[in-house]
Amino acid sequence: MAELSSFHDVRFPPSVAFGATGGPERRNEIVSLTSGREKRNARFSQSRRHFDAGTGVRSLSDLHDVLAFFEARRGSLHAFRFRDPFDMKSCRPDEAVSAADQVLGVGDGVRARFALIKTYGEGEDAYQRFIARPVIEALLVAVSGEEVAADHWSFDFETGEVVFEADSIPVDDAIVTAGYEFDVPVRFDTERLAVSLTAFRAGQIPSIPLIEVPA
C-alpha cells in the first residue's frame, strides 16, 4: 500500500496552472465579547493555498493532460508541484531573481543551516513563509552580498534548508540571502474528476480543486 504522505517530484501541467484561480487561506478564530470587542486568534501559523485549475483548461489537449496527471497521482494520494501563477519567485513576478532577494538569517561562524523563507511585509508584522519546493536550477545564495557557488552549499528537501559546506559556513554577522523560483506542494482536493465533452464545448470548464500540503 502506498504511503499517504508520499510526494511525486513532478509539476502539474504548467499551461493549465497558468490559468488557474486561487490564493492563500487563513484560519482565524473570532470571538465577540460582551463589551462589543473581539478576541482574535490565528489557528495556523502558516497560510494554506487553494487553487482551482479548471479555469486553466483551454483545450481538449489540456483536459487530457490533467486526466493523465490525475491518474498518475492516484487522485489525492500523492502530492506534487504546482506553479502558482501569482506568486512563484522570491521577488515580484515581473522582476528577475537576485541572490539578494530574501534574507535567510545572520551567520555566527557555526550555523550551517538556514531555512528558505519568503518575507511578506515589514517590521514586526512581517510574515515569513517557508519555501519547501524551490527550483534548484534557479536557486541563488549569497553571503554578505557575495554570491556563493553552488558547490559550496546544498538544499535539504526534508527540512527546507540551505546547507553550507563546512568550509563555507557564514562568519559572525554575515547576512545570508537567497533568490529563487519555487513551486507549491499540493494534492488534488477531490477523489473524482467530472468531465463532459459536451459541457466542455459549451464553455463549461470542470472544477479541478487543489490544496496546499506540507512538503
State whether 176 and 194 are in the same domain: no
Residue 23 grid coordinates: 490564493
User: Is residue 171 located within the same domain as residue 200?
Assistant: no
Q: Look over the chain and give the mean of its residue pLDDT values, rounded to a whole number.
A: 91
pLDDT tens by residue, 91-106? 999 999 999 999 999 9
**37-58 mean pLDDT:** 88
Give how far the C-alpha of residue 2 lies from the chain's centroid of Cα atoms, to the nearest Å. Answer: 24
* Band of pLDDT at residue 4, cut at 50, 70 and 90: very low
Could you report the per-residue pLDDT of 97-132, keeping only the tens digit for each? 999 999 999 999 999 999 999 999 999 889 999 999
Structural domain harbouring 111:
89-180
The mean pLDDT of 31-57, rounded to a whole number, is 88
Residues 83 and 3 both lie in one domain: yes
Residue 184 in grid coordinates: 507549491
Instruction: Clarify whether residues 42 and 100 are in a common domain.
Output: no
Mean pLDDT score, 141-170: 97
138 and 108 within one domain:
yes
Q: How many domains does the chain have?
A: 2
* pLDDT of res. 5: 57
Statement to judge: residues 16 and 98 lie in one domain = no
User: What angle (nearest 5°) sits at the alpha carbon of residue 185, between those of residues 71 and 182?
Assistant: 125
For residues 14 and 63, membership in a common domain is answered with yes
pLDDT over threshold 80, residue 2: no
Helical ranges in 8-151 per DSSP H: 14-17, 60-72
Tell me, yes or no, whether 100 and 47 share the same domain.
Answer: no
Residues 82 and 93 in one domain: no
Read off the pLDDT of each residue in 21-36 and give the average, rounded to a whole number: 88
